Amino acid sequence: MINEIISMNGYGIYVWSAFSFTLICFAVLYAVIKLQLVKEQLKFNFKFASLTSEKIKSAKKQEIYREILANTSISKI
């Protein structure tokens, strides 16, 4: 029974190769996006950390920055 599922009447090699290709592409896409996110977070943290204390207070009052800072480790400043 397992052999029938794997072979799929002779089409198994095409189906399983397409399935594995898709799975690999999704995994690579996830990894690339994750790396880009980490890179952008590091750039944001670096730029935010170089601000003066007056500008940091001003930025923390803005709604968008509050949302961004809620997801970063630098929000503890």
pTM above 0.95, yes or no: no
Nearby residues of 77 by Cβ (< 8 Å), 6 or more positions away: 49, 56
Query: Residue 6 corresponds to which tokens in the numbers above?
Result: 């794997």
pLDDT at 76: 47
Q: In the chain, what are the domain boundaries?
A: 2-76
pLDDT digits (tens, 9 = 90+) for 12-39: 999 999 999 999 999 999 999 999 999 9
The Cα–Cα gap between 7 and 1 comes to 10
With b for 16 or more beta-carbon neighbours within 10 A and e for fewer, the 9-21 pattern comes to: eeeeeeeeeeeee
